[in-house]
């Protein structure tokens, strides 16, 4: 079973969630609100490792701290129906609110020459200890990328 990172919360409108999981071929961020849901892929597994590390490194004391990731997916490429959904996902401490921790997701959709605001999900005061435990388990259980093979030096060819 693949490791996941998730934050779920409930308010007067209903259930909310931000979840990072493996969908079989990509790592995706799933954002769910009482009003809709969507998912967008991370560029590569290293971005997911960086997210887990950012959660582990979330400072306990008030200080400037924010990491952002840009996610996107294009559908119907090179057709009249081409549509790109993109989003910013951030982990940080809010400097305008006593450095409270947060996870924030904001998406946009670009079609033709128009860009529309999409889904927004902000988890204020997430369970930091739980997120750190998830991040630790995630980094421990996530398969490491294969090591890159050092390039072999070519021997000089003798001149004829």
Residue 142 has pLDDT above 70, yes or no: yes
Count of positions (residues) in the chain: 160
Instruction: At 51, list the tokens.
Output: 């997210």
Determine the Cα–Cα distance for residues 10 and 128; give it in Å rounded to an integer. Answer: 17
Determine the Cα–Cα distance for residues 60 and 72; give it in Å rounded to an integer. Answer: 31
Q: What is the pLDDT of residues 99-127, one digit of tens each?
A: 999 999 999 999 888 899 999 999 999 99
What is the predicted pLDDT for the residue at 158? 45
Q: What is the full DSSP assignment across 51-104? A: HHHHHHT--SS---EEEEEEEEEEESTTSTT-EEEEEEEEEEEETTTTTEEEEE
Determine the Cα–Cα distance for residues 3 and 143; give it in Å rounded to an integer. Answer: 10
Report pTM.
Answer: 0.82
């Amino acid at each position: 079973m693949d490791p996941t990172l998730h934050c779920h919360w409930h308010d007067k409108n209903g259930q909310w969630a931000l979840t990072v999981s493996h969908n079989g071929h990509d790592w995706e961020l799933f954002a769910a609100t009482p009003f809709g849901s969507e998912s967008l892929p991370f560029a590569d597994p290293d971005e997911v490792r960086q997210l887990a590390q950012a959660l582990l490194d979330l400072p306990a004391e008030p200080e400037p701290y924010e990491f952002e990731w840009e996610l996107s997916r294009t559908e119907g490429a090179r057709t009249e129906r081409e549509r790109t959904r993109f989003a910013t996902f951030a982990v940080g401490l809010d400097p305008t609110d006593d450095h409270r921790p947060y996870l924030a997701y904001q998406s946009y959709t670009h079609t033709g020459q128009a860009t529309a605001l999409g889904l927004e999900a902000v988890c204020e005061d997430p369970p930091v200890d739980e997120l750190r435990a998830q991040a630790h388990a995630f980094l421990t259980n996530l398969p490491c990328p294969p090591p890159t093979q050092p390039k072999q030096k070519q021997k000089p060819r003798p001149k004829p």
